[in-house]
A and B are shown apart, each in its own frame.
Chain A
């Protein structure tokens, strides 16, 4: 079974530019999450999709961040325009069904975003 795939693995952009991150969850997983880890600190929740609907986007920092999940398959996270403080590792995770016993989230390897 293929895992959660994220693209690109690294991105270096200048302040003010636009970047789009992509996440392909495990096939059949309705739940898709975006998290961010900044400067080796805690992993912070950004938002949660159930299929194509945004279940919870309370962690999105501001309106420069836009997430979509058209068709309920892959998701994109766009940052426009990027600021220096947006640098960090963006993780995507998916789960089959919210909170089945013994099932956790499967994480992708992350996209390391550096804004210079």
Chain B
């Protein structure tokens, strides 16, 4: 089942902060975050493997609450280059072996001057 992201869309002025949430109904092995600009490939931002783990990438960081099966992406002091669609990807272990990554519904982020 597909993880749900919120908000669906957000518009920021340059320098403002934003939080994007990702919730899953299944027990998660890990959470990925990707950003896709229009017409381009999704680009990997970070992966969070353990509950409570926080990662950072420039002014973008994320947390993973394993118990709540939720992850949040934090964008601080947003820049124009942050514009795009953000996807979380939730990973589960398959009973037959291997893992499966399912992408969330996406959050469209636009940063304006």
Residue numbers of A with Cβ under 8 A of B are 4, 33, 35, 41-45, 48, 50, 55-56, 91, 93, 98-99, 101-110
Contact with A along B84-103 (1 / 0, CB 8 A): 00010101001000111111
With A43-B87, A45-B100, A99-B29: A104-B44 Cβ-Cβ less than 8 Å: yes
Distance between A22 CB and nearest chain B CB, rounded to angstroms: 15
Q: A42-B104, A98-B99, A104-B34 given; name 19 further pairs at CB < 8 Å.
A: A4-B41, A33-B101, A41-B106, A42-B87, A48-B98, A56-B94, A56-B100, A91-B41, A93-B42, A99-B29, A99-B47, A99-B49, A99-B91, A101-B47, A103-B47, A105-B32, A106-B44, A107-B42, A107-B44
For residue B34, which residues in chain A have a CB less than 8 angstroms away from its CB?
104-105, 107
B47 and A45 contacting across the interface, CB-CB below 8 Å: no
Residue numbers of B with Cβ under 8 A of A are 2, 29-30, 32, 34, 40-47, 49, 87, 89, 91, 94, 98-106
Cα(A50)–Cα(B96), bound, Å: 14
A42 and B103 contacting across the interface, CB-CB below 8 Å: yes
A45 and B102 contacting across the interface, CB-CB below 8 Å: yes
Of the candidates A42, A93, A107, A108, which one forms a contact with B106 in the assembled complex, judged by CB atoms under 8 Å apart?
A: A42
Most buried by B among A56, A99, A103, A108: A99
B98 and A98 contacting across the interface, CB-CB below 8 Å: yes
Distance between A46 CB and nearest chain B CB, rounded to angstroms: 12
Cα(A106)–Cα(B72), bound, Å: 22
A109 and B98 contacting across the interface, CB-CB below 8 Å: no
B49 and A55 contacting across the interface, CB-CB below 8 Å: no
With A43-B87, A45-B100, A55-B98: A110-B41 Cβ-Cβ less than 8 Å: yes
Cα(A33)–Cα(B102), bound, Å: 11
Q: Which 10 A-B pairs have the closest CB atoms?
A: A104-B44, A107-B41, A43-B103, A109-B41, A107-B42, A55-B98, A104-B32, A42-B105, A104-B47, A98-B99
A109 and B100 contacting across the interface, CB-CB below 8 Å: no
A99 and B41 contacting across the interface, CB-CB below 8 Å: no
